[in-house]
Structure 1
Amino acid sequence: MTSSLVFGGYSSRDRPPPPYSSHKSSIFLPRRATSNPAPPADYPSGYTPGGFFAAKYANPVKRNRSLSLRSKKGGQTSTEAQPRKFGFSSMRASTQPELSKKLYRLIKSENHVINNHTNAGREQISIASQLSDWGLATNDDAISDISDKIGVMLSELGELEITYAQNLEDFRAVLKSIRNVEASVQPSRDKRNKITDEIQRLKYKEPQSPKLVQLEQELVRAEAENLVAEAQLSNVTRQKLKEAYAQHFASVVERSQKQEILAKHSRRLLSLLDDTPVVPGDTRPTYDRERDARQILADAEDDLRSWTLELEEVPTNAMLDAGAMPAAPSVHTAASTSPVINGTGGVNGEHLEPEANKQEVEV
């Protein structure tokens, strides 16, 4: 009797082939550090718009190269989604102060969301390249041209997803400032509770102990320190929460509106493809819509370049000094308005942390 190994419910004889492995693509991820234009004044600070067409689409003369995803070298592959890594960093939550544990987990989860959006954008770019290559292999001029142009649009959608993930990283950094302040407040709470417990223990065991007077004086100082720390935490939490999610939803608006622009122009491309059925023996008319397809890409590029972020202002009254306390009052006239949430106003949580209690934790 012959035996065969079993892998996941399949024998070694009838084991299915390994799953499809996506391809790497490196040419579709241009560096954005120097190519992006400066954001308009109405963008929240720290917020970087993106997703514009690259300069490779500027020349309308060369067909399937200046307006194409195809490379002369061929063999493009995309980066596979990286699995989550487990190690010492995954155990940091258990060592966090009790006050900052919940926000620490939220920030950690946001990091997974950011990685997923980045991977989704890269896979979208890879799919766009595969669609273009498939269209070329059909030997049908119309399908080849339309699939290539749609691939350009899909590639831009992938770039938008990657830019959205970058903006989420900025939003996540603002939440970290709240977490750092929470971590710095925990020691003052613990100190106050420890002195209170010690006083109660002495009152029960040694009511006449001279140490009680000293502990009560320490308790007064500890409560005063904790009162200041709690006020700082409240001020920073309200300001930074408002700032973080104003930034977050601004990036959602940018992503959705640019996706709408690309989707509408992509539907225009589909209208150029003649899908009239033919009978055997008939030949289709020669495809002559290349110029129209290039014009649609140019229209999409123009719409993206002229797009601006138009949102209602998120007002704030958070005028804090370096100690997260209300700044010196200023004279406001009836015509004055509240400042708008941005990424530079307010207080950095690190300024509030005493050196002895300072905890620098990167997620």
Structure 2
Amino acid sequence: MNRALSIRSNNRSSGNGTSTNSSSHHHSSRRGFNLSSLRGTIQPEMSKKLYRLIKSENNLISAHETAAKERLSIAQQLSEWGEQTSDEGISDISDKVGVILSELGEQEDNYAHALDDSRGTLKAIRNTEKSVQPSRDGKNKIADEIAKLKSKEPESTRLVVLEQELVRAEAENLVAEAQLSNITRQKLKEAYTAEFLATIERAEKQVILARHGLRLLNLLDDTPIVPGDAGIPYTQGHQARQILNDAEDDLRDWRPTTTAQDEDAKYVTSNSPPPQCQQQYAQQPLQASQPRAEGQHLQEAQQQQVAQQVTQQQPRAEGQHLQQAVPQQLNEKEEYGASLTGTETNTTGTGSVAGGAQERQVQTTIV
């Protein structure tokens, strides 16, 4: 943290430069308004949007610098208020918490300067766009002249010269456009990688400071006292100083542990299931369809059994029917023969044939 264990000692010291004054040095290093800020009105069309973006980034940086200043001011006011409470515990804890708050403001100021560096990287893209714009305009101007000349004087000898100039302009513009594409990709990635890494650093260091701030607050005994009783003695001064030392050590030992490649690799790995999971997912539809297939198989087997039973019963029934039909036919033939003999014996006589309807029918057919 590179600061003393109390804001008051820093405020009362006359000339030792501490990190509480480092933010003022950072602010003084930034230039204020000048005539160069009016360049936005004369920017080429190609670089106007990026110019506005860079201008907005400047406003964001100023906002973070203002937040850093306010943090430092609040930390100082908290320490001064705690000193005049005449409570030893409140006085010491408020002063130590003020140190934590001032360090939070310092981290905010560092983040503002990281944004400023990222903004400076974007300026390289803007400057390249400005340099490419004349080449693009020159090529378009020559192409327009050729089109006008072809419509008015198709046989003009100047067309050959203009076409040669157009070839050279297109070649120059091709090189410029390739350079612009390369610089844009490189600087865009560089600028926002730096900004995101600075955001991670600021967040992780703020977490470190916030945790130690909670440790400081736990040293303050807030047990209610009865009016007239003596105040609770404060004996945690040594522990409070140790907490600030721990916070300083943690900030000093902090190292960046994240890169863009690490994040990309982490999410690529997390989104692809392991081979066992893939096999399990592949088997789930088969397992879900197995009961249905088994049910269909049972139904088909039952239908086949019923069909076999029917086919087995049909020949048996037909055989029984034939067995029953043969004796019946034989009986009919015997009766038929008997009736024929009866009529033959009766035809020789003069009397009528007596008998059933069948016998009468047989007799009639014979006559």
TM-score by length of 1: 0.65
The unaligned stretches of length 5 or more in structure 1 are: 1-52, 58-63, 316-363
Partner of 1:202: 149
SS in 2 for 1:295: helix
Residue 264, structure 1, aligned to residue 211, structure 2: yes
Which of 256, 259, 263 aligns to 1:309? It is 256
In the alignment, the residues of structure 2 paired with residue 187 and residue 129 of structure 1 have an alpha-carbon distance, to the nearest angstrom, of 54
Note the 1:163-174 alignment, pairs <5 A.
163-174=110-121
One-letter code aligned to 2:35: F
Residue 237, structure 1, aligned to residue 237, structure 2: no
Shift of 1:162: 0.9
Partner of 1:71: 12
Which of 202, 221, 245 aligns to 1:298? It is 245
The RMSD of aligned alpha carbons is 2.5
Is the contact made by 2:71 and 2:104 (CA closer than 8 Å) also made in structure 1? yes
Which of 88, 93, 107 aligns to 2:40? It is 93
Shift of 1:102: 1.0
User: How many positions carry a matched residue from both structures?
Assistant: 252
Shift of 1:146: 0.5
Shift of 1:68: 5.1
Is the contact made by 2:89 and 2:234 (CA closer than 8 Å) also made in structure 1? yes
In the alignment, the residues of structure 1 paired with residue 39 and residue 252 of structure 2 have an alpha-carbon distance, to the nearest angstrom, of 43
One-letter code aligned to 1:71: R
Partner of 2:4: 56
The unaligned stretches of length 5 or more in structure 2 are: 15-19, 263-367
Q: Deviations over 1:227-261 (max 9, x none)?
A: 11111111111111111111111111111000000
In the alignment, the residues of structure 1 paired with residue 96 and residue 9 of structure 2 have an alpha-carbon distance, to the nearest angstrom, of 7
Note the 1:79-228 alignment, pairs <5 A.
88-228=35-175
* Aligned-residue identity in percent: 60
In the alignment, the residues of structure 2 paired with residue 126 and residue 72 of structure 1 have an alpha-carbon distance, to the nearest angstrom, of 17
Shift of 1:299: 0.9
Note the 1:27-66 alignment, pairs <5 A.
53-57=1-5, 64=6
Note the 1:333-348 alignment, pairs <5 A.
none
Instruction: Considering Cα pairs closer than 8 Å and 6+ residues apart, tell me whether 1 or 2 has the greater RCO.
Output: 1
TM-score by length of 2: 0.64
SS in 2 for 1:287: coil
In the alignment, the residues of structure 1 paired with residue 241 and residue 3 of structure 2 have an alpha-carbon distance, to the nearest angstrom, of 14
Change (3 A) 1:292 1:298: same
Q: Deviations over 1:296-326 (max 9, x none)?
A: 11111111111101113549xxxxxxxxxxx
Shift of 1:71: 2.2
In the alignment, the residues of structure 1 paired with residue 33 and residue 2 of structure 2 have an alpha-carbon distance, to the nearest angstrom, of 37
One-letter code aligned to 2:2: A
Is the contact made by 2:193 and 2:260 (CA closer than 8 Å) also made in structure 1? no
Is the contact made by 2:208 and 2:250 (CA closer than 8 Å) also made in structure 1? yes
Shift of 1:91: 2.6
One-letter code aligned to 1:117: H
